[in-house]
Amino acid sequence: MIQQQIEDWLTGFIIEHDICPFARRPWSRNLLRIIVVEDKEEEQLTKNLLQALEELVSTPRKELETSLVVIPNQFESFDDFWSYCEWVQELLEESGVSGLLQVVGFHPAFRFAESEFEDQANYVNRCPYPLLHLLREESVTEAVAQYPDISAIPERNALYLRRLSKATLERIVYGHHGH
């Protein structure tokens, strides 16, 4: 059920609306893994997260490109979630894998630091449940090299999302049953 909602968000929003031009390939080649951590304990989540990071480092790219760790039962508050993301970032730097992996946070109530909550550009990082996207640094580097104007993507997305109706956004991001 949760897995399905995330797949629907990924295909129906991120890929179909071309929010991330790099998502289609790993998805269509089955190189993307969705890991749902239903625990309510942060400690258990961290164990699962470390395991997922470890797996990404030790698995060849042709078998696994990227992973999504979905956290349905924790971090209802975006601020709590963001604190956890920052802590994970520090963890990566301390463990020396920050040159290999990146973690990007998504949350139902995501808000960019400088923006108003209502700004529809925030939907670019909104999704049905809090999730951590684990990326390989080499995939990011490659994407940057292959995509002529990668820095224009956020601006393009912001303009695109602000043009959609709020009802449309809610539907394609959170699914038909709203948030």
Tens-digit pLDDT profile for residues 87-99: 999 999 998 887 8
Whole-structure pTM over 0.85, yes or no? Answer: yes
Angle of CA points 118, 78, 132, to nearest 5°? 110
**Class of residue 107 by CB neighbours under 10 A (exposed 0-12, middle 13-18, buried 19+):** buried
Tens-digit pLDDT profile for residues 113-139: 999 999 999 999 999 999 999 999 999
The domain in which residue 111 lies consists of: 2-174
- Residue 31 is assigned to a structural domain of this protein: yes
For position 137, what pLDDT does the model report?
A: 93
Tens-digit pLDDT profile for residues 56-91: 999 999 999 999 999 999 999 999 999 999 999 999
d(Cα 87, Cα 43) in Å, to the nearest integer? Answer: 13
Share of residues in the chain with pLDDT > 90 (%) = 88
d(Cα 167, Cα 177) in Å, to the nearest integer? Answer: 12
What is the three-state SS of 17-62? Answer: CCCCCCCHHHHHCCCEEEEECCCCCHHHHHHHHHHHHHHHHHCCCC
For position 10, what pLDDT does the model report?
A: 97
- Residue 179 is assigned to a structural domain of this protein: no
- Residue 25 is assigned to a structural domain of this protein: yes
- Residue 32 is assigned to a structural domain of this protein: yes
**How many domains, in total, are found in the chain?**
1
Full DSSP string of 65-81? -EEEEE-TTS--SHHHH
Tens-digit pLDDT profile for residues 144-171: 898 888 889 999 999 999 999 999 999 9
For position 103, what pLDDT does the model report?
A: 95
